[in-house]
Structure 1
Amino acid sequence: MTTAPIAAPPTVRSFLLGPDEVRAAAGLAEALHDQHTGTGLLPGPRGLTDAADRAVEARLASVIGGFLDIDLVSLVAGGWAKHSALRDAARRTRQYPGSEEVVALATHSITSTHEPAVDVLVDGAPAATVDVGLTVVFRITGLVAAVRDARLIAVRTGECAVEAQLSVRRTLVATREGRLDLPGELRLRGPVELLPPAYRGPQPAYGETGGRRTR
């Protein structure tokens, strides 16, 4: 396990396996082989399937690598969408359209868990299902967020430690700890909705919009 600063915004794949896609896929295939995750997925005598197992592991590595192509910033922003202080600010800014709140968040953690599955087919027929598990934990300090009209629009300052673990067939195949270097103001891909679409909240009884609010 290594600890090192990394460039932002990386993907889960580049964070766990390195920035070179070809080397990352080869390294993951080798890890799958070392942990015997390709063993027994194909029918037939054991002695006849070694080369086939290698081929399956290489293909699994490619498919799993594609799944890991997730922006780490998007993952952590999705976690902020569930933070109680930000959701409270979202309700208030929805009640007063046009208003904005600046929210300072205490040290907090966000855990993002994913459990996809990969189906292995032989001659078009299902042969096996490979369970994949990904857990990414963010530990964040010194964060200031801006909320406007029930949306997270900007994140300023802050430090973020990241730990990621990848398992295949319930066997750990990759893990890493590092830092997500947040710039002075983090660029989001777009405003993050903090309330579910069905939520309407209290509506103002007058036509004026609220002014700027800070806390």
Structure 2
Amino acid sequence: MTTAPAVEPLTVRALLLGSEDSAPGVLAESLQAHRAAAGVIPGGRGLTPAAGRAVESELATVVNGFLDLDLVALVAAGWSRYRALTEAARRTRQYPGSEEVVALATHRITSAHHPSVDLLVDGAPTATVGVDLTVVFKITGLVAVVRDGLLVAVRSGQCAVEAKLAVRDIVVASRKGRLDLPATLRLREPIDLLPGRAVPPPPPFPPAPPPAPPNVRWGHQ
């Protein structure tokens, strides 16, 4: 496993496999090297070696398509479940124009995905290939700025990220990297911390109390 800074485009594919253009070829080579596709079609179904390599190549192309996941979007999905941030988002959305600065303790966000690929030979299904993708973020020293229910800036914070891809329970790619959260989020749109959630309107101000009656005393001389 190697460690490297994550660079644009900030996708799981770029982190795991490097260049977007070469990713399918790199993945196909890894599948072959780990024999992850060996015997995937029961009995080989009469496939020639060349046909078998073609199946591996197509499998790599499909799996590669699963990796087009934005790293910052995965982090944001985790933050949308983080109580301190969602509470700040609710308060600032209730009162437009308000802003809160939230400091978070060290925390981890895990994003797990389990797609599958159905293989067909002569139009008939022959096998289902399971794919497991896990991305883990460890974030320290995060200071977030929330305004109108949106995460608008990160003033500090370090983020280590580790991705692991397995095909048929065989790890074919894994890599560690780093995200510069303040620099990354400055270049992107604000992140909605309350996607699809209705926020109640702010409570009305209580009515002003009625004026006190004049202090008048009646008496006789």
- Return the TM-score normalized by structure 2: 0.82
Distance between the aligned counterparts of 2:99 and 2:192, measured in 1? 14
Distance between the aligned counterparts of 1:124 and 1:188, measured in 2? 46
- 1:74 maps to 2:73: yes
Distance between the aligned counterparts of 1:67 and 1:92, measured in 2? 36
The match for 1:179 is 178
Distance between the aligned counterparts of 2:92 and 2:20, measured in 1? 43
8 Å CA contact retained: 1:75, 1:112: yes
8 Å CA contact retained: 1:157, 1:184: no
Distance between the aligned counterparts of 1:115 and 1:184, measured in 2? 31
8 Å CA contact retained: 1:134, 1:165: yes
Change (3 A) 1:115 1:92: same
Deviates more, 1:166-175 or 1:5-14: 5-14
Change (3 A) 1:146 1:9: farther
RMSD value, Cα: 2.4
The match for 1:212 is none
8 Å CA contact retained: 1:143, 1:159: yes
Report how far residue 188 of structure 1 moved: 6.2
8 Å CA contact retained: 2:36, 2:168: yes
Change (3 A) 1:183 1:53: same
- 1:101 maps to 2:100: yes
Report how far residue 152 of structure 1 moved: 1.9
The match for 1:156 is 155
Residue type at the aligned position of 1:126: P
Report how far residue 46 of structure 1 moved: 7.0
Equivalenced residue count is 206
Provide the secondary structure at the position in 2 that maps to 1:36: coil
Distance between the aligned counterparts of 2:74 and 2:54, measured in 1? 31
Deviates more, 1:195-204 or 1:56-65: 195-204
- 1:147 maps to 2:179: no
Change (3 A) 1:49 1:42: farther
Report how far residue 194 of structure 1 moved: 2.1
- Return the TM-score normalized by structure 1: 0.84
The match for 1:125 is 124
Distance between the aligned counterparts of 2:130 and 2:42, measured in 1? 18
Change (3 A) 1:45 1:9: closer
Report how far residue 21 of structure 1 moved: 2.1
The match for 2:18 is 18
Identical-residue share of aligned pairs (%):
63
Q: Quick check: which has more Rg, 1 or 2?
A: 2
Report how far residue 143 of structure 1 moved: 1.4
The match for 1:51 is 50
Of structures 1 and 2, the one scoring higher in RCO (CA 8 A, sep 6+) is 1
Report how far residue 68 of structure 1 moved: 0.7
Task: Structure 2: give runs of 5+ residues left out of the alignment.
Answer: 206-221
Distance between the aligned counterparts of 1:15 and 1:67, measured in 2? 13
Task: Structure 1: give runs of 5+ residues left out of the alignment.
Answer: 207-215
The match for 1:5 is 5
The match for 2:61 is 62
Distance between the aligned counterparts of 1:32 and 1:70, measured in 2? 20
The match for 1:28 is 27
